[in-house]
Structure 1
Amino acid sequence: MRLPMWNSPHAVTALLLASLAGCAGAAGSSSAAGPNSAAQSEPGAQSLSARVIALIVRETGAPEERVTPKARFVEDLGLDELDMIELVMAMEEEFGIVVSEEDFESLVTVADAIEYVRTHMRP
């Protein structure tokens, strides 16, 4: 008897990303004019949001239920400056972007990070 494909690491990853995308979409839809509202209407925006959220969870070890677009890195997720530097370095590597010092200071929430990646990623 062959086991279902859910025992595959790739299937588990796909399920996790789909779950995170659903959480990000639900969190973004609760605010009518939040920073994520325009992003949710763009094609592929939800998958990018899910990728950024998955990266944040992986790099920070923060519980995934706390990593929502409105979550603040320092106050809500408990990151310090070194954690933020490591997270930004991971974002730069993962998405092929460069974050300047000025822009680094503007990354306060998860939504800020998602929007930054969206606007600075090359198509």
Structure 2
Amino acid sequence: MNRTEIENKVRDFLIEDLEVDEEKIYPDARLKEDVGIDSLDFVDIVVIVEKNFGFKIKPEEMAGVATLNDFYSYIESKVG
């Protein structure tokens, strides 16, 4: 799976499952401040990522993930 496919899947589940406005989804968007991801959303993201990408998110690995670009890179490192 390439970077574009990852970005598209993430965008789709943010819009469809978490009801994030599409204009809030851009590479440098901060997950909490700009996209509006809270702790309840994070639980949903863990389930969605496992379903869509086939791996479990470990909370300690997400410590340095602040932006959508970081999140894309994290997923890419796991599925690439």
- Counterpart for residue 51 of structure 1: 9
1:73 aligned residue (17, 31, 39):
31
> Do structure 1's residue 86 and structure 2's residue 22 form an aligned pair?
no
Greater C-alpha Rg: 1
Identity %: 25
**Cα offset for 1:63?**
0.7
**Cα offset for 1:99?**
1.2
TM-score w.r.t. length of structure 1: 0.57
- Counterpart for residue 32 of structure 1: none
1:95 aligned residue (53, 62, 67):
53
**Cα offset for 1:97?**
1.2
Q: Distance in 2 between matches of 1:75 and 1:112?
A: 14
Which structure carries more relative contact order (alpha carbon 8 Å, separation 6+)?
2
Cα RMSD (Å) of the superposition?
Answer: 1.9
- Counterpart for residue 12 of structure 1: none
Paired residue total: 80
**Cα offset for 1:70?**
0.9
